A and B are shown apart, each in its own frame.
Chain A
């Protein structure tokens, strides 16, 4: 798999079809990291294995990466979905990038036409039940040696002992779905207590925002301070406002890659919020993000004079 990828990458650079390859390379302590390959010789750095789960699509809108020229990007299914969503939202156009698609079965397909990629994504498995590869998060629990993962008995975490805070760091679509199901079944008060105790740990480092390919706004609402819409300090209200806002802004757009959770230094399972929002959106509007359609529907972004709801008319 790796060899085929390296060959393909080398060819793209040799033919000068692209200026760089955004892919995975060996990182520190058994982790993998993003690498930016700019010469055919460097393609040896590229790797492809079960650890390659980080969503590289986040780099496509980074100013510093864009300055390097046209990229080709190694795209596992979750990355493909993000790219399609970015295209739907007019953040990527045909010709901007080349996609080196790597499907769950290891099949490598090149896409320069993003509509074709959209069709490819639609033909694949639905949003969840992603890949065997995606079952292990890039974040290793190395710092905690062989931790027992036992839930503590402190009052703050009592909610999490019975609710779905998983002890293992790597998350799988199945695990996430189970956790959303469990959370949804709790009474509202308990659900709220669970989230407030999780948000209490939030440092407002915005790693969730930085790791999300779809959080591409040049000025995030929290960074707007004339006036200050959202409370910035990492206190309970500020944290609640941030996480509610983040989830709402991603409702119906999130492609459920889990990058926000993987990025969170304090392990808040905030991806479950967007996942739940996605379920709600699908239920209410029959839409699914990361899928290219003839006419994309953004229920929360669109306005129609004949909308059946009249409260915002």
Chain B
């Protein structure tokens, strides 16, 4: 069973600060105008909380949009190979969503399928994901239909769920998560701090400063708090859990804090329909308005295709692995000029089939986590969920 604990808002901020100070690369959602991107952060103050999902997925922590895989130097007639400059930096990704975390499993399946990809795995092994479950969703979210959910733990190392003001339930999902919780155990507490001031600042500092925080008793925490606003929070918590005693982490009904994401379609039915849909008219109908760009794939957390580019600078050069996508016409063009996927309908079919049929048959994993980024990013309003509902509901 997944182990649980609590962390206060200010302890969490303290944790993020200490993680950054520890020399790790800490990536968190940062807002600039309309875009929210995962950026390296030093403190919680830089982190944006006012978004459903980030504009671009956090997959760049494991699969950068371009990364060096070989470098060389020409010396006379000889070509000398050199070690690539692409080290894995110990990383913590904070504030990704359960859909994003689930996508890590899909990427891992691809990059360990027939060959273990060293560039991917070295980053995967040194990255810890601290996920925030979803209290809100929007009309593009469809994680439940793809097998996930707003509080899904898959792929996360730690999953945080915001409870009452300033308090989070912590689920320690993996060994990596446990290791991080052990290393920074003073920030976590097993006891409900009970009374949280609106900002959670005072009690949070208390918990952070107390090295025995993990064993701190609920009674101690309660007696230490005096703010009247805290009393209200406490009675809210009591009302929710129907108990006068402060609940333990295991007594928290996590589901009651999560967004209500409906199940838009049945995944098994979709797969069955797709098996017979290859030659159907649906692809052309759906893709007529598709402009054939790569926006959907490049914001997608699970799209994993890449292109190889060699760049030379005089006598030196490097080979780069860069994101690529089946939505672009050039993706399948042969040197002869022949293109087996000549039309956008064929390319759209490939995108859907790969995510929901081929990928599942080969890797037993669905190549879509229902984050809805593709639908939000699409300049032509290609709504993935809508198209999947169409297919799953077709006779």
Contacts and interface: CB of A to CB of B under 8 A. Distances in A.
Contacts of A63: 343
A236 B311 CA distance: 14
Chain A facing B: main interface SS: loop
A204 B377 CA distance: 14
Contacts of B125: none
A278 interface: no
A263 interface: yes
A154 B163 CA distance: 29
A147 to B, nearest CB: 5
B298 A203 contact: yes
B345 interface: yes
Interface stretch (A88-96, A227-235, A246-254): A227-235
A235 B45 CA distance: 28
Interface string A160-194: 10000111110000000000000000000000000
A149 B322 contact: no
Given A143-B138, A263-B291, A233 B33 contact: no
Interface in B351-380: 372, 375-377, 379-380
A165 B51 CA distance: 19
A259 B345 CA distance: 23
Contacts of A209: 293
Contacts of A169: 34
Contact of A156 (B32, B50, B56): B32
A33 B322 contact: no
Contacts of A238: 66
A64 interface: yes
Contacts of A266: 35, 37, 55-56
Contact of B299 (A142, A156, A265): A265
Contacts, number: 174
Contact of A64 (B55, B344, B381, B383): B344
A12 interface: no
Chain A CB count within 10 A is highest, among B41, B294, B295, B345, for B295
A141 B383 CA distance: 16
- Sorting the interface of chain A by its residue count into under 10, 10 to 19, 20 to 34 or 35 or more gives 35 or more
Interface in B119-167: 136, 138-140
A239 B42 CA distance: 27
B295 A207 contact: yes
Contacts of A152: 30-32, 46, 48
A234 B65 contact: yes
Given A145-B50, A267-B35, A210 B139 contact: no
B330 A223 contact: yes
A168 B39 CA distance: 21
Given A233-B309, A233-B322, A148 B50 contact: yes
A27 B386 CA distance: 10
Q: List the 8 closest pairs (A to B, CB-CB), nearest first.
A: A263-B379, A210-B293, A205-B294, A33-B381, A265-B377, A207-B293, A210-B291, A233-B66
Interface of A: 27-29, 31-36, 54, 58-59, 62-65, 138-139, 141-145, 147-154, 156-157, 160, 165-169, 201, 203-207, 209-211, 223, 228, 231-235, 238, 259, 262-263, 265-267
9 contacts: A34-B288, A36-B289, A64-B288, A64-B343, A149-B34, A150-B31, A204-B294, A206-B294, A267-B33
